[in-house]
Amino acid sequence: MRGSCHCGNVVIELSTKIDQVTSCNCSICHRYGAIWGYFKLDEVKIESNTGRIDSYKHGDEYLDFHHCAHCGCVTHYTPREKAQSERMAVNLRMFEKGLLDEVSIRYFDGADSWEFKAQSADRYFI
């Protein structure tokens, strides 16, 4: 599967199909509006047509959130060394809209309880 940011500068290629994704309402995910799919680092190929992908390290600095330097779309995040993780996340909103119709979306309350919620009608996930 291939996706890209709005301007097409950042291209994402996934080597495996995904069937479950996560919507989180923590302070940063709420602002980004991302729907995260999780992958091993070697299952994702990221390319930039201009070579410019900017990043932001959030809070405890365990993750680098990457975005297109041209259009600003948040495309993925990667673990920093101190996270000791081989898992990254890709923003599935960078792919065709129909992809989200084919997957199960889990709703994670990263703002308060740090638990998955059973219902998607919670106003914090809209």
Domain that holds residue 45: 2-109
Question: For 9-21, what is each residue's pLDDT tens digit?
Answer: 999 999 999 999 9
Residue 60 belongs to some domain of the structure: yes
What pLDDT sits at residue 58?
80
Residue 115 belongs to some domain of the structure: no
**Count of the separate structural domains present in the chain:** 1
> What is the rounded CA–CA span in Å between residue 5 and residue 23?
19
Residue 53 belongs to some domain of the structure: yes
> What is the rounded CA–CA span in Å between residue 82 and residue 51?
26
What pLDDT sits at residue 51?
80
Q: Considering the entire predicted model, what is its pTM?
A: 0.90
What pLDDT sits at residue 59?
81
**Cβ within 8 Å of residue 99, ≥6 positions away:** 1, 92
Closest CA to 91 of 122, 123, 120, 53: 53
Residue 35 belongs to some domain of the structure: yes
Pair of tokens at residue 21: 């994704």
Residue 119 belongs to some domain of the structure: no
- Identify the segments of the chain with pLDDT beneath 50: 126
**Cβ within 8 Å of residue 126, ≥6 positions away:** none
Residue 124 belongs to some domain of the structure: no
What pLDDT sits at residue 56?
97
What pLDDT sits at residue 126?
46
Query: Can you give the three-state secondary structure of the chain, one letter per residue?
Result: CEEECCCCCEEEEECCCCCEEEEECCHHHHHHCCEEEEEEHHHEEEEECCCCEEEEECCCCCEEEEEECCCCCEEEEEECHHHCCCEEEEEHHHCCHHHHHCCEEEEEECCCCCEEECCCCCHHHC
